[in-house]
Homo-oligomer: A and B are copies of this chain.
Amino acid sequence: MNFSSKLIEEAVNEFSKLPGVGKRTALRFVLHLMKQNKNEVDQFGNAFIKLRSELRYCEKCHNVSDKILCEVCANPHRDHSTVCVVEDIRDFMAIENTQQYRGSYHVLGGIISPMDGIGPSDLNIETLVKKASAGEIKEVIMALSTTMEGDTTNFYIYKRLKEFNITISTIARGIAIGDELEFADEVTLGRSIVNRTLYENTLSTK
């Protein structure tokens, strides 16, 4: 693309580094910023600079936090003997938003992906093993995605934790509530029959 200004070219290049943003979308963003007043654009740019420089992670669960411990880990009313293992803060937020979970979390910061050069040592797995060996945990709930990478990570963590006296569970996979059976994929439908739950148990969660 032929930009009439170096400043625009730089700003477009910066925006197009974001995931899923091409040059055209980046230019749309830049044109939008150009129409805003100076204070708003300063605030826009500084929000990210501040985010990166002041960002801290919870010492216990590696979740993003403004303090040493995150809100969940610092909350005495949560069950800290149950730990839900999630890939990143997005999955943490998704589960928190259900308001169904009263345990704590462990944020891996990614999943094992040899294709992207991410091995177990790049993730927050050792601290989970340490927590387990200290006898702090009764149950670990694996809540990773059902991709090849997710399954690999699940299996790796399972192998590291099985020597300790800990229940290791995974979140239920099945037909989503509201979905039609006829459109469900075979693997999910098959699993939902094998891992069927007692009807009584479904009544209590309503």
Contact = CB atoms under 8 A, between A and B. Distances in A.
Interface in A59-87: 63-66, 70-72
Contacts of A100: none
B6 A66 contact: yes
Query: Which of A21, A44, A53, A88 has the largest number of chain B CB atoms within 10 A?
Result: A44
A51 interface: yes
Q: Assembly of this chain: how many copies?
A: 2
A55 interface: yes
A196 interface: no
Nearest to A8: B64
Interface stretch (A35-43, A125-133, A145-153, A163-171): A35-43
A14 B44 contact: yes
Contact of A4 (B2, B46, B64): B64
Contacts of A41: 48-49, 51-52
A53 B38 contact: yes
Contacts of A18: 29, 32
A31 interface: yes
Interface residues of A, number: 58
Given A64-B5, A65-B5, A89-B4, A51 B31 contact: no
A19 interface: yes
Contacts of A33: 48, 51-52
Enumerate the 7 nearest inter-chain pairs by beta-carbon distance, A residue then B residue, closest first. Answer: A45-B45, A41-B52, A45-B49, A14-B47, A45-B48, A11-B51, A7-B51
Interface of A: 1-8, 10-11, 13-14, 17-21, 25, 27-34, 36, 38, 41-55, 58, 63-66, 70-72, 88-90, 92-93, 96-97
8 contacts: A1-B97, A8-B51, A11-B47, A14-B48, A18-B32, A20-B25, A31-B88, A45-B49
